């Protein structure tokens, strides 16, 4: 390793250590005392439930672990959005698993909880995967009910999706291990099968206190909505169990008997490991995203045999396109090139910037992959499209629109990894969240914003100084320097991957060494999709 590589490696390892530490705190949910109280009631934590549910020795691929991170501080926080969720294998079948966290405000739904649960249902619907709900929730968090209850993407959308998934033939299993109250009571009943744990599990539209207030009736919690009542009297639940372990065992038996579904048939051969160590990526990437590197070196760290067949290698060099295999799966890779390169005209082109020729090349490559039924992987490290009179006269908007059109209309699975910067319209062109990637991940060095921190801070400073001067205030250089520092710090906070993950702009922050694994898991999930769409580009200027 040279000095620069060593510095990069050390910085990335430190960032990954911080990632694991922060995840460890998030994984405690409501804290150790809340976990102890749950155990005293004979209840497992959501993470313990999931580990008991999935196949022994298999890996649970968590999604949205940083949902709600550093949000809702005035309400005590909402670690992981009050829900633990992700992809796991149950009896050899890949499933979406969603578990309410009773240690976080009794599993109550914050706005981000709703967004996360809807995202998990979206994953199940897009990829036609069975979904397992491990239910233990007090319903909507009342102090914020106006932000979670009535809108299209709020709480009620969950039950609309239950109905849609049922019509699509997607298996839904609900295991009620705690409260399931008010509107939330519809979720298990709209699932295919409902299981309940006696003593702890309960389902009702209104609890004892509300029933007393509404109609004056004194009702016992178990008589009102316990497992015995619902399996013997109302017929709402299908099974009851004495322990959570017995309940989860039955979930596994149900999943084990689901019939096979036709697959999309994406090409897969026997997986072969890369020639380079996945952790070699650490030394290639700068944590500040301000150094040149060859993105092909990154690609060779996670593709099979480190083989990458580059498409139009000598044209449009600030975007690299090519074919490879990842864990046996055929993929088309579209990646921003960070190093400064020469165009075919001999001009120097800045790395990370999309030029006319690179936009044109990437659009053509995306169309090819759709023609050949090859899933796409986008590696984002983009500062935006090239600006200036020369680019405008060359039609950069037209070529950019062509690329955006191809990304938006692509029908093969798209998996996006933010490996560096993701700024401005470059975020859109390289399949940002708004363009429906099946899965989107970020490395610890990722930055997502409308523009880079330095440019944005200076622009915001000019606006703020002008406003202050308009009020008659005198701004000396020292005060201007302080303002710039405050603006830069605030803006940099908003561009961090944790800020993005907290709001589910990305599904998860990952160790770069896990890139190969998440791509493989994503394509495996997409291979189960039942949707067959014809690729059409619509109208655009050639």
Mind listing the pLDDT tens digit for each residue in 228-260? 999 999 999 999 999 999 999 999 999 999 999
More confident residue, 184 or 215: 215
pLDDT at 118 over 80: yes
Is residue 542's pLDDT more than 70?
Answer: no
When pLDDT is cut at 50, 70 and 90, the band that residue 32 belongs to is: very high
Q: Report the alpha-carbon angle 499-501-507, nearest 5.
A: 165
The pLDDT of residue 221: 82
- What is the helix (H) or strand (E) element at residue 391, kind and residue range? helix 389-393
Residue 11: the pLDDT is: 96
| Cβ–Cβ < 8 Å for 99, 49 | yes
Percentage above 90 pLDDT, the chain: 72
**pLDDT grade for 67, boundaries at 50, 70 and 90:** very high
Whether the pLDDT of residue 337 is over 60: the answer is yes
Q: What is the pLDDT of residues 378-437, one digit of tens each?
A: 999 999 888 788 888 777 888 889 999 999 999 999 999 999 999 989 999 999 999 999
Q: What whole-number percentage of the chain has pLDDT above 70?
A: 98
pLDDT tens track for 68-97: 999 999 999 999 999 999 999 999 999 999
Is residue 305 within 8 A of residue 275, CB to CB? The reply is yes
pLDDT of residue 483: 77
Mean pLDDT of the chain, nearest integer? 92
Task: Say whether pLDDT at 183 is over 80.
Answer: no
Dump the DSSP string for 417-473.
EEEEEEEHHHHHHTT-GGG--SEEEE-TT-EEESS-HHHHHHHHHHHHHHHHHHTT-
Can you give the pLDDT at residue 406? 95
Coil vs helix vs strand at 353: strand
Model confidence at 54, pLDDT cuts 50, 70, 90, reads very high
> Tell me, what's the pLDDT at 206?
79
Please write the tens of the pLDDT for every residue from 469-484: 777 777 777 877 777 7
pLDDT at position 77, please? 96
Compute the distance between CA of residue 483 and CA of residue 461 in angstroms, rounded to an integer: 7
| Higher-scoring residue by pLDDT: 173, 492 | 173
The pLDDT tens digits for 157-170 are 999 999 999 999 99
Q: Which residues pair with 90 in a beta bridge?
A: 93
What would the mean pLDDT of 299-307 be, rounded to a whole number? 98
Angle between helices 453-470 and 477-495 in degrees, nearest 10: 130
Residues 6 or more apart whose Cβ sits within 8 Å of residue 136 = 43, 46, 99, 100, 101, 102, 107, 176, 177, 178, 179, 180
What pLDDT, on a 0 to 100 scale, did the predictor assign at position 211? 81
Q: CA 356, 296, 522: angle at the middle one, nearest 5?
A: 95
Looking at residue 467, what is its pLDDT? 77
For residue 454, how many other CB atoms are within 10 A of its CB? 13
- Total count of residues recorded for the chain: 542
Q: How far apart are CA 373 and CA 268, in angstroms?
A: 12
Mean pLDDT, residues 193-220 taken together: 87
State the pLDDT confidence band at 207, using cuts at 50, 70 and 90: confident
What is the rounded average pLDDT of the residues 350-359? 90
pLDDT score for 150: 86
pLDDT band at 444 (very low <50, low <70, confident <90, very high): very high
Decide which of 447 and 208 is more confident.
447
Please check whether residue 479 is in contact with residue 286, taking contact to mean a CB–CB distance below 8 angstroms. no
Alpha carbon 255 to chain centroid, angstroms: 25
pLDDT band per the 50, 70, 90 thresholds, residue 60: very high
Pairing assessment for the beta strands 384-385 and 353-354 based on DSSP bridges: parallel
């Amino acid at each position: 390793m040279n000095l620069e590589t060593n510095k990069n490696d050390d910085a990335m390892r430190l960032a990954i250590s911080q990632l694991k530490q922060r995840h460890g705190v998030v994984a405690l949910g409501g804290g150790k005392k809340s976990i102890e109280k749950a155990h005293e009631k004979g209840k497992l934590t959501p993470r313990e439930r999931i580990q008991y549910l999935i196949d022994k020795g298999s890996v649970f691929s968590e999604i949205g672990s940083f949902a709600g991170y550093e949000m809702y501080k005035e309400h005590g926080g909402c670690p992981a959005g009050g829900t633990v969720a992700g992809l796991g294998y149950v009896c050899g079948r890949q499933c979406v698993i969603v578990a309410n966290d009773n240690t976080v405000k009794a599993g109550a739904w914050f706005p981000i909880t709703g967004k996360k649960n809807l995202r998990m249902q979206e994953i199940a619907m897009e990829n036609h995967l069975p979904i397992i709900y491990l239910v233990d929730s007090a319903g909507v968090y009342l102090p914020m009910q106006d932000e979670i209850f009535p809108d299209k993407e709020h709480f009620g959308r969950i039950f609309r999706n239950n109905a849609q998934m049922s019509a699509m033939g997607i298996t839904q299993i609900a295991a009620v291990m705690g409260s399931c109250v008010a509107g939330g009571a519809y979720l298990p009943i709209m699932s295919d099968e409902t299981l309940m744990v006696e003593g702890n599990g309960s389902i009702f539209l209104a609890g004892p206190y509300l029933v007393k207030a509404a109609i004056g009736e004194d009702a016992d919690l178990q008589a009102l909505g316990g497992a015995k009542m619902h399996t013997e009297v109302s017929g709402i639940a299908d099974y009851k169990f004495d322990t959570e372990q017995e309940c989860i065992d039955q979930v596994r038996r149900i999943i084990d008997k689901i019939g096979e579904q036709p697959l999309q048939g994406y090409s897969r051969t026997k997986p072969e490991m890369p020639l380079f160590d996945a952790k070699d990526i650490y030394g290639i990437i700068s944590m500040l995203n301000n150094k040149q590197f060859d993105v092909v070196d990154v690609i060779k760290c996670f593709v099979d045999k480190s083989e990458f067949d580059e498409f139009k290698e000598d044209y449009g060099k600030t975007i690299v396109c090519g074919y490879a295999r990842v864990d046996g799966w055929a993929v088309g890779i579209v990646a921003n090139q960070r190093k400064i390169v020469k165009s075919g005209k001999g001009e120097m082109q800045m790395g990370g910037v999309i030029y006319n020729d690179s936009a044109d090349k990437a659009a053509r490559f995306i169309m090819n992959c759709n023609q050949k039924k090859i899933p796409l992987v986008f590696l984002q490290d983009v500062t935006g499209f090239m600006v200036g009179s020369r680019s405008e006269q060359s039609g950069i908007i037209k070529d950019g629109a062509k690329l955006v059109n191809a990304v938006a209309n692509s029908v093969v699975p798209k998996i996006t990894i933010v490996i560096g910067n993701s700024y401005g319209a470059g975020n859109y062109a390289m399949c940002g969240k708004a363009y429906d990637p099946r899965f989107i991940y970020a490395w610890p060095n990722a930055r997502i914003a409308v523009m880079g921190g330095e440019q944005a801070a200076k622009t915001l400073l000019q606006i703020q100084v002008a406003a202050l001067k308009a009020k008659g205030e005198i701004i000396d250089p020292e005060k201007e320097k302080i303002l710039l520092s405050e603006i830069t710090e605030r803006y940099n906070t908003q561009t961090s991957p944790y800020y993005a993950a907290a709001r589910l702009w990305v599904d998860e922050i990952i160790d770069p060494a896990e890139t190969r694994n998440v791509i493989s898991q994503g394509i495996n999930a997409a291979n189960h999709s039942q949707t067959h769409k014809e690729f059409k580009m619509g109208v655009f200027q050639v």
